[in-house]
Structure 1
């Protein structure tokens, strides 16, 4: 059994970088009086919503195992933590933007954008698993960006 130095550096280096970014962000927010009840409510709500995404990813991974696809424990744990942290961050950003806008986001646009993201990720993940080529996941980046932009875009008004 050999030690993978790059994996250890990535694992613990990523944790240290994340903790430092979190600490620096909170310090800057505290200086600008950004740590109030609204901030706490937004991020608590985002954390609660992210658990639904984590549950859905767990069910999806269990379903893949039931269909006979071999998945390693490290890969499963990596996917679950990535889904949890990414959904927490994205949900928190959407809620923060929505709470601080003069005109709130339209729920139909947000749902449409989330649907684009989910459909593209599901399609490209299934394509990657069936072909065994993980590079197909990179093709899901443009539709994901389009979905996020669609969800966050405010409606353009024509005042003529």
Structure 2
């Protein structure tokens, strides 16, 4: 068994930097009185919705395995944690913007944006797994940006 020192450094430095960013963000929010009931409500809802995304990701991964595609445990766990934490942050951001923005976001546009993001990530992840080339995931950046723009753009008809 080979030891990947770059992987070990990346894994633990990512964890340390993530914990530091979380701590610093909470410290700044506490200083600006941002840790109120609305904050906790938004992030609880985001965590709840992200479990639905994680469940969908599990079904996609199980389907790939049923179709005979071999996926290592490390790749499966990486995809699951990216799907869960990524959807949690995106959904939390959308909910935070929607709650603090005077122009309400249209729920159908938000859902369309989230669907575009989820489908592009799933499709390009499957292509990356099938081709054994992770660079195909880079092609999902443009559809993800389009999905974010669609989701976060308020309806111009309602804002007038």
* Coarse TM-score class (shorter-chain normalised): over 0.9
* CA deviations over 1:54-99 (Å, ceiling 9, x no partner): 1111111111011100000111011101111001111111110000
| TM-score between the two structures when normalised by the length of structure 1 | 0.92
Q: Distance in 2 between matches of 1:37 and 1:87?
A: 22
Shift of 1:129: 3.4
Distance verdict in 2 for CA 1:44–1:101, change over 3 Å? same
**Counterpart for residue 80 of structure 1:** 80
Shift of 1:2: 2.6
**Counterpart for residue 22 of structure 1:** 22
* CA deviations over 1:118-156 (Å, ceiling 9, x no partner): 332233233333433332221111011011111101233
Q: Distance in 2 between matches of 1:51 and 1:108?
A: 20
C-alpha RMSD of matched pairs (Å): 1.9
| TM-score between the two structures when normalised by the length of structure 2 | 0.92
**Counterpart for residue 65 of structure 1:** 65
Corresponding residue pairs, total = 160
With 111-120 and 67-76 compared, the bigger mean Cα shift is at: 111-120
Q: Distance in 2 between matches of 1:124 and 1:17?
A: 27
